[in-house]
Structure 1
């Protein structure tokens, strides 16, 4: 099993070098037997989830920093197995050592065995360190504590938890209860998410091929919080709908499922590669011809033909600070300077697409962020600058009111962290 540890270390090393986990992981899995994929994912995600704590432990164990990035990453993978995984310690040490370059094997062996001997003292020291104790960078922890002082401890803990495996049932074709029975017939247990009519939470993650009807569009994999967008948009037959920043297309597909009688759906994304994901998503459900896909920057609607949209969905690019448990690499890749840059981009997108909305139409602003600068402060500033806009209160059994929108914090009703705000044009 040393090969799987080596591949996981390569993934971790690439993320530490600035590549996303989504980009780095597939290449590693291609080099492994299918039976080892789950373990490689567990090693990669887990090491990144606990990176700040593991890095602290490694610094305590090393007389000098490990200069070789691959050996550095492998040491973190080894520590993660001993600290957080139910792997037999002797196997974790032996297989991690075997995965190292020959010159580095004595070093890896010494580090891991030293951790085993000093574990209690090292973990006590980690608990006393600001970053290591909750395995978050100092700036992100501070931002969360400033924004959510009473809930910060729960948010930080939720960010370290394994995310639930949630699916969205295509209610136009099958009821949620009926689909739950289909899952049960295949030995898959699922619970209904009370706050979201289309959502089921499975007891364990499974490959999408094992979900009955997935290839035919009966169900899609999507967190329950993200499934709130289409109902809040409240589309009606005959309307034209614009979905900007649409990739990977889950919300676009949900809009089409919720109202097949729409006049037109236009999905815009700046990435041609990511638009291909939207195209594949729609094709799987048999609705590829029902949406027009446009590759463009949402801040430059020069493609617009002058016909107004009755509904606009702005799934804005953001820090993704609300989905850290699902994408632990965010904690390593995001920088504090990104917050202001992304907030400026969000303002530009809102200002660019607002003229495309018909009078009396609705714009739904969505982020998967926890930070006020990207959420309620963004909407407050927009309302101040646009007298023809008014905020529509969202009355719901999920999240909490935050000025001009509603915020779900990570882990609330076992959902990801999302912000929603509804605006209407007067």
Structure 2
């Protein structure tokens, strides 16, 4: 999942010197810096944006996010335009100027900002980024695009563009007859989904409360889910601070429902950050004993914050899911008061993956993920599956989940596991195609993200 994307501290100070981000950059200058980090240094927006936000004016943050996500969403189209308008590629130290061109073109094509204002702001950002010598180039290229826009776009848009890397397109073609629909869905902005806490309200009653507050929402097949007509700040959601609702994709919400947690059971939520699935398990079984495990220490805070907002209790532990022996005694100590061995009644394994099912929420995944990343991820998933299976009680349930749409990480992964473990039995899921190994959700406009589930029972 997105947790596998690389972390960064690239925008922080170095050797005691202030980076340009300490000088209250404009949204355009900050966006160019961030896009450069994504494209040239393999950093993720989910790491870069939170780091830079404290040093930005609050009113600039929505535009910053819109530009960064938007450029990553339509990057190949913008790159093609630049190739038509710039004679010599901007490389090395001039790559920041290339990124400013991306920022300027995105604003002209995809925002309501007046084109000349977008150009002026991009040119001014060059000064902040110590690229004064290229202000004339920026101004000239962007104004030329305005003059020649019709002919340039006629060339660029002559053929349908995927706005995806070729390796991923080829994998989708080989797997899905409707691969174009998946790509089109990936290129859309994602809808905002809510999970309604059934301990406070039904989905229908909460939908009425939203309507009373001027927010239109639509129900889904998932009994706890509502889709908002337009995204809103969580501060506008009724009783959000009291835990009445959580922002979570509709397909991600199936994890706790399919797990079927029961009160009194000992349950492991592996790879738990940021805690959405942990809290959903506890909404369904408030008296269950839940261990929330994640390998990244800095992500545990999000789990505890979500638990606190919903007034829930869980054992939150930092540990490597491939090595239960390193953290299981600590979990046992907190659960039972001693370090004697414990085994789980149910395990939710939200495995680290390519995140190819959530591209519309994280469009930088298209440019961060490489084809050669898939095989190592598949091996890590197998190691975690094998290790956690040993911590499951006889007759226990393990629900395997990813936000990937690639068969190597999903159906083929489970087929391999079943072939290697005679004590593993595939359980049916309440979805069509019962002959398939698990169930694959695909991203869809006004629908959910790409998710995969397989339910395994440990034969006694």
TM superposition score category, shorter chain reference: over 0.9
Report the equivalent of 1:285.
310
- Looking at structure 1, the residues matched to 200 and 356 of structure 2 have their Cα atoms a distance apart, in angstroms, of 34
Q: 2:138 aligns with which of 100, 105, 108?
A: 108
Query: What residue is the counterpart of 2:226 in the other structure?
Result: 200
1:362-392 Cα deviation digits (max 9, x unpaired): 1100000000000000000000000111111
In structure 1, runs of 5+ residues without a counterpart are none
- Residues 1:167 and 2:194 aligned together: yes
Shift of 1:31: 3.4
| Distance in 2 (alpha carbons) for counterparts of 1:166 and 1:199 | 7
User: Aligned to 2:379, which of 344, 354, 360?
Assistant: 344
TM-score (norm 2): 0.87
Aligned-partner Cα distance in 2 for 1:224–1:208: 17
Alignment check: 8 A CA contact 2:357 2:403 kept: yes
**Residue 164 (structure 2) aligns with:** 136
Please say if residues 2 and 95 of structure 1, whose CA atoms lie closer than 8 Å, have aligned partners that are also in contact: no
Q: Would you say 1:317 and 2:352 are equivalent positions? A: yes
Length, aligned pairs only: 417
Counterpart CA distance in 1 for 2:435 and 2:46 is 31
Once residues 204 and 308 of structure 1 are traced to their aligned partners in structure 2, the CA distance between those partners, rounded to angstroms, is: 44
- Report the secondary structure of 1:293's partner residue: strand
**What secondary structure sits across from 2:241 in the alignment?**
helix
What is the CA–CA distance in structure 2 between the aligned matches of 1:34 and 1:181, rounded to whole Å?
32
Matched, 1:259 2:289: no
What is the rounded CA distance, in whole Å, between the counterparts of 1:26 and 1:155 in structure 2?
Answer: 29
Q: Indicate which of 136, 139, 152 corresponds to 2:179.
A: 152
Indicate conservation of the 8 Å contact 1:161/1:325, yes or no: yes
- Which moves more between the two structures, 351-360 or 205-214? 205-214
CA contact (8 A) 1:2 1:96 kept: no
Q: How does 1:179-258 map to 2 (within 5 A)?
A: 179-193=206-220, 195-258=221-284
1:401 Cα deviation (Å)? 5.7
Provide the alpha-carbon RMSD of the alignment. Answer: 1.8
Structure 1 residues 413 and 382: alpha-carbon distance in aligned structure 2, compared to 1, 3 A threshold:
farther
Q: CA deviation at 1:223?
A: 0.7
Contact kept? 1:8, 1:28, Cα under 8 Å: no
CA contact (8 A) 2:425 2:456 kept: yes
Could you say which residue in structure 1 is the equivalent of 2:298? 273
* Structure 1 position 76, deviation (Å): 0.4
2:82 aligns with 58
- Match of residue 86, structure 1, among 112, 128, 144: 112
